[in-house]
Amino acid sequence: MDYFRYNYKSGKNQLDHMKDWVTQETNADDLKTQAIGNYIYNSIGQLVKNVSEGIAYKYNASGLVTEVTKNNNPLVKFYYDDKGYKIKKEQYRNGYQGKYAEKDGETEDHVLKKHTRRALGLSKQQGKIAIEGLKKDIGLPPNFHGKIKGNVDLAHPNSRQVLGNLFDYLH
């Protein structure tokens, strides 16, 4: 359970830090009280750093987020066309770069369909290793057909329940 008090920079609509009034240990992976000055902004008011979580944000000249890092390791990168429309999103997990799939993909037995692999930036072998590993780990039959979500989660085709993430099975 959380009970937050948000503290803003004087005279600005910028969060400085927050305090969690729940002091008992919850063993939950949630936000805790932050130090004063936890959130850092650039000269035009864009959030550039969350100190307590080690998250930093980079922007282009149009003010659009181009990269988010955690402890200097990329989490996500965004690319835009000359009109400011996002044209590409690269996600990073466990040091591996994948590509954002704009639409749900599909699986065929132990392989990803070609268009899904291409959208995710995976080779045929990488796709096979990831699908086989995930299916084996959670006890799915070899002929199970799932849906690949944009964040590379494998979901049940009917319930859309997330079964696992392919990036966790790449070696």
Q: Using one digit for the tens of pLDDT, what is the confidence trace for 52-100? A: 999 999 999 999 999 999 998 888 888 888 888 887 777 777 556 654 4
Average pLDDT over residues 126-145: 81
pLDDT of residue 9: 96
Q: Is the pLDDT of residue 7 over 50?
A: yes
Which element (helix H / strand E) includes 129? Answer: helix 124-138
Which has more pLDDT, 127 or 18?
Answer: 18
C-alpha R_g of the chain: 20
Which has more pLDDT, 157 or 73?
Answer: 73
| Residue 42 CB neighbours (<10 A) | 11
Q: Of the given ranges (25-39, 72-86, 90-104, 118-132), which has the lowest mean pLDDT?
A: 90-104
* Contacts of the segment 113-118: beta carbons below 8 A, 24+ positions apart: 116/148
| Cβ contact 131:106 at 8 Å | no
Q: Which two tokens stand for residue 71?
A: 């402890």
Q: Of the given ranges (5-14, 95-104, 120-129, 130-139), which has the lowest mean pLDDT?
A: 95-104
Residue with tokens 């130090």: 35
What residue spans of 5-123 are helical by DSSP H? 114-120
pLDDT of residue 97: 62
